């Protein structure tokens, strides 16, 4: 196995994020996506934690399966919500026994489970728990616009700096303008933090996804929504997808040129947009054009 901290120390990383399937149909989609993306040779892949006890097992099974049946380097997401400290420790020990050396420690969103425990209030405590158990490269989340629960941006940056003092790297929430990422990195530098911060990339490939982006914590800027609306009027859904991929590619080029330590793609368990961006960036020039997801 390979720790992500070691990969980042060696040079830029390019990584993909998936969510564990809830049904056989979702499993088929993910299986196809994994086959299509493996030729890109990602540095690592991450598997989200969709919430609740059932997701705990799905995430574990998916990362363990990747570990033992593929050449992919997996990272498991883990959240504080809906778990006691003991349960979280048991999950971490189980991951280590399965050969998983990379975790992303998150506070997590509230669940619908009645009486769900939450003994760890913040991701920082989960980082400390994973560090105490040992053997992990530990990542944390970063929010270029600030976490929605933070009272202000300065407080958010202070908390992120505290997390990164104990963790190895961060991955950002998706964003759409280079200044958002560069401002985050500059704010951390002012606080004496120079740990790698991977920019999270999610291309906007349909008009219906624009309001969803805001619900997920990062609103599409007005200028971008206008460009996508123009593409829609001129050429419909296909033109929107093409323009969305172009804009995401431009964003990737800008942050890489500014010194970002790589790129982390939120795939939504699909492959087409990621493959198109890879091709445009010259990261996989011989990549087949097969697949339409």
Domains and their CATH numbers in the chain = 4-281 (3.20.20.220)
pLDDT on residue 192 = 97
pLDDT on residue 19 = 87
List residues bridging with 266 in a β-sheet: 17
Between the ranges 18-27, 48-57, 145-154, 243-252, where is the mean pLDDT highest?
Answer: 243-252
3-state secondary structure of 220: coil
CA-CA distance, 110 to 6, in Å (whole number)?
33
The confidence band for 288, taking pLDDT boundaries of 50, 70 and 90, is very low
pLDDT higher for 3 or 29? 3
Q: What are the tens digits of pLDDT across the range 160-178?
A: 999 999 999 999 999 999 9
Say if residue 256's pLDDT is above 80. Answer: yes
The confidence band for 54, taking pLDDT boundaries of 50, 70 and 90, is low
3-state secondary structure of 266: strand
Q: Specify whether 215 is catalytic.
A: no
pLDDT on residue 289 = 43
Give the up-direction half-sphere exposure of residue 152: CA atoms within 13 A in the CB hemisphere: 2
Nearest to 15 by CA among 44, 41, 37: 44
pLDDT on residue 113 = 56
Say if residue 248's pLDDT is above 80. Answer: yes
CA-CA distance, 30 to 65, in Å (whole number)?
13
Q: What are the tens digits of pLDDT across the range 113-129?
A: 545 567 898 999 999 99
pLDDT higher for 226 or 111? 226
Do residues 174 and 218 make contact, with C-beta atoms less than 8 angstroms apart? yes
Mean confidence (pLDDT) of the chain: 90
Active-site option among 17, 36, 101, 180: 17
Q: What are the tens digits of pLDDT across the range 192-224?
A: 999 999 999 999 999 999 999 988 879 999 999
Say if residue 292's pLDDT is above 50. Answer: no
């Amino acid at each position: 196995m390979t720790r992500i901290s070691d990969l980042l120390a060696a040079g830029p990383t390019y990584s993909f994020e998936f969510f564990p399937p809830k049904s056989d149909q979702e499993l088929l989609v993910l299986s196809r996506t994994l086959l299509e993306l493996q030729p890109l040779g990602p540095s690592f892949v991450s598997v989200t934690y969709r919430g609740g006890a059932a997701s705990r097992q799905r995430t574990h099974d998916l990362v363990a399966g990747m570990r033992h049946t593929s050449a992919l380097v997996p990272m498991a997401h883990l959240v504080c919500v809906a778990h006691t400290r003991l349960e979280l420790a048991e999950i971490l020990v189980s991951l280590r026994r399965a050969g998983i050396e990379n975790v992303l420690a998150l506070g997590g969103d509230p669940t619908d489970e009645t009486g769900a425990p939450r003994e760890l209030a913040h991701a920082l405590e989960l980082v400390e728990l994973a560090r105490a158990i040992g053997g992990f490269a530990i990542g944390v989340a970063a929010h270029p616009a600030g976490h929605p629960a933070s009272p202000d941006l300065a407080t958010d940056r202070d908390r992120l700096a505290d997390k990164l003092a104990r963790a190895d790297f961060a991955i950002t929430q998706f964003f759409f303008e280079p200044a958002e990422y560069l401002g985050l990195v500059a704010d951390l530098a002012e606080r004496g933090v120079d740990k790698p911060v991977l920019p999270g990339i999610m291309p906007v490939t349909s008009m219906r996804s624009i309001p969803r982006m805001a619900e997920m914590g990062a609103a599409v800027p007005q200028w971008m929504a206008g460009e996508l609306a123009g593409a829609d009027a001129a050429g419909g859904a296909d033109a929107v997808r093409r323009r969305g991929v172009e804009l995401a590619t431009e964003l990737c080029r800008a942050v890489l040129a500014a010194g970002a330590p790589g790129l982390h793609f939120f795939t939504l368990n699909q492959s087409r947009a990621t493959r198109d961006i890879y091709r445009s960036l010259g990261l996989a020039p011989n990549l087949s054009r097969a697949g339409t997801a």
